[in-house]
Structures are given as C-alpha cells and as structure tokens.
Structure 1
Amino acid sequence: MKQFLTILFIISHLTSSAQKYSLVIKDSAIINFMQWLFQNDSSFKSVKQVNNKIVRFHSDNFIYTDSSVLNTDRFSQNIFRKENNLNEYFNAGDANYFAQQINQQFTDKWQLSIKRVMLLDSIKLINNRVDNVVYSYSLPLFSVDNKYTIIIEAFFCGLVCGGGEYNLYERGIDNTWKRIKSFNKWAE
C-alpha cells in the first residue's frame, strides 16, 4: 500500500507540474519561439501575455483552397485568401498541419515568468499613458518543415481601443526568427 501511494504521489506531481500546450508540437519549440519573440521584439509593449483563451486560432481560417471560389463573408479571415499571398510559403499539407495543431492545443494561460516585459522605464510609460495596454499572443503554429511559424499578436487598451494581426516568421540558419509578413489586420 505504501508503494502504491508513493507511486500515485509521484505520478500526480509529474502530471500537475508539467506545462503542456499542444499534443502535436513539443513544448520546447513553443517556449523557445516565444522567448525569442519576447526578447527580440523591439516595439514598445507594456504587458505581454500568452493566453490562447483570448487570442485563439480557428481551424476554419486555415482551409487551403482556391481563394477565387471562397465566399468572402464566410472566409474573410482565411489566411489563404489571394491578397495574403501565402501560397508561396505553404501548401495543403501545411494547412492540414496548422488545423491539426489548432485542434490539439490546450486552452490555458501561460505560466511563464517572462510574460511581463518592460522595455521603457516607468517615467516614459506613465507619460505615454499606455500603462494599461495588454498585448496578447496566441500559441505559434509551425509549418511541417518548421521553417515558418504563424502567430496572432493583439493589443487591448480599452473598450473601443485595440487591434491585432497575424504575423509570419521565418527561421534563419542560426535558429533566429525574422518577421517576413503581416496579414489579416484588424482594429477597433
């Protein structure tokens, strides 16, 4: 009985302390990209958080099809619309892989110590009056070859103040990332 309780305690500790964001992508890949993004984002951002309950992809927006036949109302956020020109980066296999990642993500707020990043000193922050702006990020989606990732970056600054965009990043030879495209932008 004592051994059973010990094993049960160890298993419950391991399962409750592990952070798992996706059944498809390794947590280390997600965390490494997000750490790189937070450390290398040169734009001013007061509070950063990863919360895919707030900013979440929808698999319907990743249907790979001839964009000329898409109903513009129903597929207005589809990333493969003609004006986004993403067919040069992705194929139908990538679209299916994106949908698989979306459907296998866990909805949870990140418990990561780097979620708060201050890039300007507090005097400038107060003078700019943007101390209540919250920048939220989705979990990243990776292409099949792990060369590209798509992430939603959004901000909220009040009842009728906010916006966001999808961003496409490309992995370099040295494993750093470079933003190469923004699309599906919105503003309130």
Structure 2
Amino acid sequence: MRKILYILLFPLIISCTKKGDTKTVTDKEMYSIINFVISTELPRLSNTSDKGYITESFTNSLFFRQKEYLNTNADSLFNKKDIEFIHQQMNDTLFKLNPDLIKSKTVVSFDTLMKLRNKGERSSKFWERFSEKYGKHEYFSISKPLFSVDKKTVIVSYGFHCGSLCGGGSTEIYRLVGKKWERIKTIETWVS
C-alpha cells in the first residue's frame, strides 16, 4: 500500500518542483543584466575609462517599499504574479556580487566598505580611507535585479559614488528583447 502511495505521489512532487523552478532566478539570468548595466549604463555616469570598483547597493530594500511602482493598473508593466515574485526576491536580502561573474569591475563588498565608515564621523573620513586603501576616490554600486515571473522584465538600480556631494544614479526597468536588454522606463534618477 505504501509503495502505491509513493508511486502516486512521486509525479505530483516532481511537478511541484518543476513549477518552483520558475520561481527562482539563476546566476546566468542575474549576471546577464548586471554585466549589461556595467558595460552600457555605468560608463554614462562617470568619465572614468578604467576598470574601477563596484559594490552591492542597498537601494532595493528602501526604494521598492514604495508601492506606486509595484501596483497593477492600466499602465503597469507588471501583473499580480510578477509583483508577488518581485516581493519574494526583495525578501531574500542576501545579495552579494560574485566577483567571478562580474566583467570589467573589481568587486568590493558592501560590508567591506562599511568597515571604512565610523558612525558619527564626517563622510570625508570615509573617502580618505577609501582612497588610501584602493587608490581611487570613486566606486559604482548596483542593486539586486528584481525580475518578472517570465524573467524578461527587470528592475535594477545603479550608481556612481565619488564623494559626499559627488555622484549620481538611477533606477530603471529593462525588457529582454531577443537576446538584448533594452531600457523601457526610468523610475528614478538622483544626483549628489
């Protein structure tokens, strides 16, 4: 009897696993958009032509709590299932850039950067320490990309940081058209 029950339940378990697979984002999918942004979007933010440094951005958790960009209406780029999937990805807060999958930038973890800061201290001290350690006075940041269920639409934030009142960035929505990412909407831009 038990064997029959296992035989009957096995296809159900396998089908649930396959359905669950569409609810994850692979490294290949994630680094496709990350490396696209690094090669095409980040150069627009600075005049630097060399490799430079990049870190994880914390903007997703702050910015995407604003509901107006993640609601369903006539103008929405996302349906209800997409929004649920995006929130699921936001709740997975462990996002660390993988240096082996990044092209043309050296990864410095956000945690490493935070160790250069001391609470209550002027930001100029951070930049002094950063310059001493890395020989530069600038770095880029990129957020965890947040994908639609079909993985063809993604929200990502990125920025260029070069001092306490120096930098800029934006939050964009991209769509995969064929094998190429295209910007379809700018949600927010900032300049410091």
Give the TM-score normalised by the residue count of structure 1: 0.58
Cα RMSD after superposing both structures: 3.2
Change (3 A) 1:177 1:110: same
Query: Whole-Å Cα distance in 1 between the matches of residues 71 and 163 of structure 2?
Result: 30
* 1:46-82, Cα deviation, whole Å (9 max, x unpaired): 3352x33x33411772565xx5xxxxxxxxxxx2489
Query: Whole-Å Cα distance in 1 between the matches of residues 28 and 149 of structure 2?
Result: 16
Q: In structure 2, the residue corresponding to 1:58 is in which secondary structure?
A: helix
Change (3 A) 1:86 1:166: farther
Q: Could you say which structure has the higher helix fraction?
A: 2
* 1:147-182, Cα deviation, whole Å (9 max, x unpaired): 211100112110122232111111112x11011211
Flag structure 2 segments of 5+ consecutive residues without an equivalent: 1-22, 107-135
For residues 65-144 of structure 1, what are the structure 2 equivalents within 5 Å?
Answer: 67=68, 79-80=69-70, 87-112=75-100, 113-116=102-105, 132-144=137-149
Question: What is the CA distance between 1:35 and its match in structure 2?
Answer: 2.4
- Do the aligned partners of 1:90 and 1:143 also contact (CA within 8 Å) in 2? yes
Q: Number of aligned pairs?
A: 135
Is 1:57 aligned with 2:76? no
Query: Whole-Å Cα distance in 1 between the matches of residues 63 and 141 of structure 2?
Result: 21
Amino acid at match of 1:31: Y
Question: What is the CA distance between 1:32 and its match in structure 2?
Answer: 2.2
Is 1:156 aligned with 2:161? yes
Query: Whole-Å Cα distance in 2 between the matches of residues 160 and 94 of structure 1?
Result: 36
Question: What is the CA distance between 1:140 and its match in structure 2?
Answer: 0.9
Change (3 A) 1:86 1:56: farther
Correspondence for 1:181: 185
Is 1:43 aligned with 2:48? no
Amino acid at match of 2:60: F
Larger Rg: 2
Q: In structure 2, the residue corresponding to 1:57 is in which secondary structure?
A: helix
Change (3 A) 1:176 1:86: farther
Change (3 A) 1:132 1:178: same
- Do the aligned partners of 1:59 and 1:98 also contact (CA within 8 Å) in 2? no
Q: In structure 2, the residue corresponding to 1:132 is in which secondary structure?
A: coil
Amino acid at match of 1:55: F
Q: In structure 1, the residue corresponding to 2:60 is in which secondary structure?
A: coil
Change (3 A) 1:37 1:60: closer
Amino acid at match of 2:39: Q
Query: Whole-Å Cα distance in 2 between the matches of residues 86 and 55 of structure 1?
Result: 30
Change (3 A) 1:96 1:63: farther
